[in-house]
Amino acid sequence: MASLKEIRTRVISVKSTRQITSAMKMVSAARLRKSQDAILQIRPYANKLRDILEKLDRGSDSYKENIFFKEKKIEKVLIVVITSNRGLCGAFNANVIKKTLQVVNEKYKSQNDNGNLDIISIGKKGSDYLAYRKYNVVKSYVDIFDKLSFEHVSPIIKEIINDYAVGHYHRIELIYNQFKNAGLQILVEKQYLPILHEEKIEDRFEDTVDYILEPTKDYIIKELIPRSLKIEFYESLLDSIASEHGARMTAMHKATDNASDLIRELQMQFNKARQASITKEILEIVAGAEALK
C-alpha cells in the first residue's frame, strides 16, 4: 500500500486536474452556445437555397450543361479535411483523420499512387498529422477558426471552386464532423464537386405553380450555384467548429467526473492507510507496555 504522503500528493494532483477540466468544460460550453447559434442560423438559408435550385432544375436539363454538374473522368482529386487546432476533444480529430486515410488508401488509391491526389487541411491537428506522414498537403489553413466569418473564408472557397472550374481537379470531397447536438457529432464524407443531381418525384401540386423568372432560368441557376457552393462550404466549417466545442465539452465533463471518482477512491485509500498506521502505533505502545511489566 502507498504511504500517506504519496496518497496525499496524488489527491492534490488530481484535484488540480479536476479544476482545470472543469474550467475547460465551462469555456467550451460558452463557445458551443455561440457556435450552435451560428450553425442553426445558416442552416435554414442554406436549405432554402438548395431547395430553390432543385425547383429550378426540376423539369429542366439545364443542369447537364453546367460545369459544376458534369461528371468527369476522375484523374485528379482534391480532399478538404476539416479538423481543429487544439486537442482534448475526445475522438473528434482522430475520426476525421482515420476517415481521410481510409478514403485516400481505398477509394482513391490509384490517384494517390500516381500523385494525382491533393489534400487541403483546415485545422492544425489534421495538417500536422498528414504532413508528418508525407501525404500531399498542398495547402494548410491553421488560423481560419481564429476569425471565422463568411467574408474571411470566401476567398479560400472561391479559389477551390475556380480550381475545379478550370479543370485542375475532377472531383472534390469534404471530410468533417457535422454538428447534431452537444453530445453527438456525425462524421461526414461527401462529394462537394461535381454536384450530385438527384432525380426527385414531383409533388402532385408542383405543376400548378407557375413561377415568373427574371431574367431567365439558366441565368439564375448559373448565378445561384457558386453562391450555394460557398454557403455549403461555410456551413461545413460552422458544423466542424460547433462539433469541436461539443466534443470538448463532453470530454471535459467525463474527465471531471472521472477525477471526482478517482479522488473518492484515493480518499478511501488514505483513510485505510491512516487507520492502519494508527492501529500499528497502538499495537506498538501496548507491546511496549507489556514488555515493561
pLDDT digits (tens, 9 = 90+) for 46-98: 888 888 777 776 656 666 677 888 888 899 999 999 999 999 999 999 999 99
* Residue 205 in this model has a pLDDT that exceeds 50: no
Cell of 209: 405553380
Helix, strand, coil in percent for the chain, rounding step 5: 65, 15, 25
Of 108, 107, 244, 230, the closest CA to residue 182 belongs to 244
Question: What integer pLDDT is reported at residue 62 of this predicted model?
Answer: 61
* Cα–Cα distances in angstroms (integers) from residue 16 to residues 10, 12, 19, 212, 269, in the given order: 10, 6, 5, 66, 19
Buried-state track 226-243, b at ≥16 Cβ within 10 A, e below 16: eebbbbbbbbbbbbbbbb
Of 117, 123, 132, the closest CA to residue 87 belongs to 123
Three-state secondary structure call for residue 177: strand
Cell of 198: 438527384
Residues in contact with 11: Cβ distance below 8 Å, sequence separation at least 6, in sequence order: 263, 266, 267, 270
**Alpha carbons 2 and 113: distance in angstroms, whole number:** 55
Q: What is the mean pLDDT of residues 225-241?
A: 93
Could you tell me whether strands 171-181 and 184-193 are parallel, antiparallel, or unpaired per DSSP bridges? antiparallel
Q: Do the Cβ atoms of 283 and 219 come closer than 8 Å?
A: no
Q: Cα-flanking dihedrals φ and ψ of residue 104, to 5°?
A: -65, -45
pLDDT digits (tens, 9 = 90+) for 15-36: 999 999 999 999 999 999 999 9
Q: How many helices (H) and strands (E) does the chain have?
A: 6, 5
pLDDT digits (tens, 9 = 90+) for 254-286: 999 999 999 999 999 888 888 888 888 888 888
Q: Do the Cβ atoms of 135 and 119 come closer than 8 Å?
A: yes
* Cα–Cα distances in angstroms (integers) from residue 195 to residues 52, 164, 232, 243, 266, in the given order: 15, 11, 11, 25, 57
Q: What is the mean pLDDT of residues 192-214?
A: 62
